[in-house]
Amino acid sequence: MRQVALRNGARVPALGLGTWMMGEDVRQRAQEVRALQTGLDLGATLIDTAEMYASGRAEEVTAAAIKGRRDSVYLVSKVLPQNASRTGVVKACEASLKRLKTDRIDLYLLHWRGAVPFAETMAGFDDLMQSGKILGFGVSNLDPKDMQEWLAVSRADKALANQVQYSINVRGIDFDLLPWCRERKIAIMAYCPLAHGDVPHKPVLKRIAERHRATPAQIMLAWTLRHEHVITIPKSARPERVRENVAAADIVLSAEDLMDLDKDFPPPRKPQPLAMS
């Protein structure tokens, strides 16, 4: 598995495992745990979750998946904006730690911007860093303007990542946010890289997939990984689909492939609002 180097020295797999919508049906829990463990076994040792997902139950699914192997997993979780005051961040993190059955979170993100000033959230992150409850922090769903405001806060420039929606058919960040973050060594985490499973029915995707003996979904994932500072986090509760997703990390798209894809999925020519779903 190719790795992405974060600015704090940590190295994480370029393809991780999402958990959005896991934990919503107790009847699916065993399969969800098995899917995550399948990914871990294959080297996708980054798991992304959040206190919001199924009201914390996705964190509980994650806890079951990483039991006995916590030290080999890079764990990412997120705090809701309404909990992002200095004291609220600490309280929310401690609740996540309890659900995750661990003593630390490797990367803790502000889920999106709310009414709480960034300085308050950063103060909470500072407290958590000093206590060792988180080993790194970052943000999610912040556009370039938001990012500039975030980085203006004392010590907030140590943010490791910005997690945003990014896929071949939702590529607005290519115009500004992605290069802006690359210049500042802030990793991009791409969520919904498979467009919620709605893979576009475009001949170009099928054609390039055939070139690589792959599936169109795998080409979509490989496309998000064409930049060395992008981490992609597809979610699947099916072990067989997880295997397919992880295999996409081995696909290297050629310049010809990328040019062909740009024709049907053109890059943005002007700033676009950040996609959130």
Burial of 18 per CB tally in 10 Å (0-12, 13-18, 19+): buried
152 DSSP assignment:
T
- For the record, the structure tokens of 123 come out as 């103060």
The catalytic residue among 53, 74, 108, 191 is: 53
**3-class DSSP assignment, residue 272:** coil
Crossing angle of the two packed helices 239-247 and 216-224, in degrees rounded to 10: 50
Q: Are 23 and 53 in contact (CB under 8 A)?
A: yes
The alpha carbon torsion through 88, 90, 92, 93 (nearest 10 deg) reads: 160
To 5 degrees, how large is the angle CA 262–CA 264–CA 266?
45
Annotated active-site residue 53? The verdict is yes
Q: Are 165 and 140 in contact (CB under 8 A)?
A: no
73 DSSP assignment:
-
Q: Side by side, which strands form the sheet with 230-232?
A: 17-18, 46-48, 74-79, 107-110, 137-140, 161-165, 187-191, 230-232
Q: How far is CA 75 from the centre of its chain?
A: 11
- Alpha carbons 246 and 40: distance in angstroms, whole number: 10
Burial of 100 per CB tally in 10 Å (0-12, 13-18, 19+): buried
Residues serving a catalytic function are 53
